[in-house]
C-alpha cells in the first residue's frame, strides 16, 4: 500500500514527463500512455516553434500550411525514431502518432503563426 502511494506521488504527467523521458534517452522504459504523452508534447512544442518561424519569415497561405505539414511530419518521425528509440511494433508505430491530436497541435501552430506574423509584419495604427 505504501509503495503504491509513493509510486503515485512520483508519477509525472504532461510536460514534466516529456522532459524526464527525453533526458533518459533510449534507456527509458515506456508505457503506451507515457509515449503518447511525450509525443503529444513534442508536437505542441514543434508546432509553436514552426509557427514562430513561419511568422518571422513571413510565409503566407497554402505554402505555409503545406510546409508546416511536411516539417511537422518529419519532426515527429525523427523524434520517434532517433530521440525516443522505442520499438515501433509495441506502440503502434509512427503512423499512428502522426495523426493523433492533430487539432490541438494545429491550433498551437496557427496561433503562433498569426500572432508573430501580425506583430512582425503588420504596421501598427497610429492613434
pLDDT digits (tens, 9 = 90+) for 36-90: 888 888 999 999 999 999 999 989 999 999 999 999 999 988 888 887 777 766 7
Q: Residue 3: what pLDDT?
A: 47
Short-list 57, 76, 77, 54, CA closest to 65: 54
Q: Residue 106: what pLDDT?
A: 95
SS3 13: coil
Q: Describe the crossing of helices 61-78 and 102-121 by its angle, rounded to 10 degrees.
A: 130
Average pLDDT on 23-43 reads 81
In the predicted structure, residue 12 carries a pLDDT above the cut 50: yes
In the predicted structure, residue 8 carries a pLDDT above the cut 50: no
Question: Does residue 42 contact residue 76 with C-beta atoms inside 8 Å?
Answer: yes
Question: Does residue 17 contact residue 34 with C-beta atoms inside 8 Å?
Answer: yes
pTM of the model: 0.80
The DSSP annotation for the chain comes to: -HHHHHHHHH---HHHHHHHHHHHGGG----HHHHHHHHHHHHHHHHHHHHHHHHHTT--HHHHHHHHHHHHHHHHHHIIIIII---HHHHTHHHHHHHTTHHHHHHHHHHHHHHHHHHHHSPPPP-
Amino acid at each position: 500500500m505504501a509503495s503504491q502511494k509513493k509510486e503515485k506521488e512520483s508519477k509525472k504527467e504532461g510536460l514534466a514527463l516529456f522532459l524526464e523521458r527525453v533526458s533518459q534517452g533510449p534507456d527509458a522504459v515506456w508505457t503506451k500512455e507515457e509515449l503518447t504523452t511525450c509525443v503529444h508534447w513534442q508536437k505542441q512544442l514543434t508546432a509553436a516553434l514552426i509557427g514562430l518561424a513561419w511568422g518571422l519569415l513571413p510565409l503566407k497561405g497554402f505554402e505555409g500550411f503545406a510546409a508546416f505539414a511536411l516539417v511537422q511530419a518529419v519532426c515527429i518521425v525523427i523524434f520517434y525514431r532517433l530521440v525516443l528509440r522505442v520499438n515501433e511494433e509495441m506502440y503502434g508505430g509512427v503512423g499512428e502518432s502522426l495523426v493523433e491530436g492533430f487539432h490541438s497541435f494545429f491550433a498551437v501552430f496557427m496561433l503562433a503563426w498569426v500572432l508573430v506574423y501580425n506583430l512582425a509584419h503588420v504596421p501598427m495604427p497610429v492613434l
